[in-house]
Chain A
Amino acid sequence: MSTLYFFEAHNNVLANSGIDDTVQSEVPVAFNGSFVVRVPNGVRLDGNPPSTLSDLLLQKYVGLLALYPGFTNIVYDEMTDATGFVPASQAGVTLGSRGTISILGTGQAETTMVVLASTPNDCIVTWEAFDVTETNPATGTDNRLIREYDEVDASDLVVQASFNNGLNFQGVLDGTLQTIAPGVQGNQLILRITNNVASRRWLGSWAVIY
């Protein structure tokens, strides 16, 4: 069971966004006025309790790397802004800040190329997917719009990875050790993320451990 951190959505300095609430991700939960950062089950936050977005993201990805002892690097994007994507290359993708990047059914997003610290022989790619449902009650004293976060299986999004700047892509499975064939190895990472279901899916984050 993962933990959801709700952050204030209107801080002028994104990194300083404070934590509004923390909940267990069991059922869809309302997150009106906040944006969500998910900490997967098993990731241990080590150190002082986080108080800002930058605190939590550092502890989350340090904790994720520590889940795979022996691996030396992690590269990640938490979707706090859209700078990790090339806008012109996106089909059926809505880009935004604070966890609002989503992909329509059959849509495809491609990350900007990032240079890795080494040329890996193998790696682990992991990503988070979620759905957002909005209900707007027509009646009642509290008839405001309700926006709910619903964690969905990562396989709702299909991911392919390229380590040679887009020359070759290989399919990857969430959280699974992937061997990179010698002919397609490299240190120029691009991920291609495709919606595998009919309805819109939000991308929570991605990370590559190598």
Chain B
Amino acid sequence: MAIKSLNYLSIPERQRKRVATQETLKLKNALTNPALTPEQTQKVKDRIEHLNRWGSGRLE
């Protein structure tokens, strides 16, 4: 059996979408923080977009 590999598409779609949504909600709450710099805001938005694509299985 030894060393094995899996990728994120092995995660059942329902489970993947659920954890992505939970994580995205936290980040959307973080976006309401007025202390965020524009660069930090952009990083959070990029992360949200990455998670959306991860959750829906659309990462390239």
List A residues at the B interface (Cβ < 8 Å): 14-15, 44, 46-47, 53-54, 57-58, 61-62, 65-67, 69-78, 80-81, 83-84, 111-112, 114, 116-117
Contacts and interface: CB of A to CB of B under 8 A. Distances in A.
Interface in B12-56: 12, 14-16, 19-20, 22-23, 47, 50-51, 54-55
A62 B4 contact: no
Contacts of A14: 1
Given A62-B10, A65-B8, A65-B11, A111 B3 contact: yes
A46 B14 contact: yes
Nearest to B7: A73
A57 B4 CA distance: 10
Contact of B2 (A53, A54, A70, A83): A83
Interface of B: 1-8, 10-12, 14-16, 19-20, 22-23, 47, 50-51, 54-55, 59
A181 to B, nearest CB: 20
Given A66-B16, A69-B23, A84 B5 contact: no
A194 B50 CA distance: 36
B47 A70 contact: yes
Contacts of A76: 3-6
Given A65-B11, A66-B19, 14 more contacts: A44-B15, A46-B14, A57-B1, A57-B4, A62-B10, A62-B12, A62-B15, A65-B6, A76-B4, A77-B2, A77-B3, A83-B3, A84-B2, A111-B3
A30 to B, nearest CB: 25
B23 to A, nearest CB: 5
Nearest to B8: A72
B1 A81 contact: yes
Contacts of B23: 69-70
B25 to A, nearest CB: 12
Contacts of B6: 58, 61-62, 65, 73-74, 76
Contacts of B4: 57, 61, 75-77
A69 B51 contact: yes
Contacts of B5: 73-76, 114, 116-117
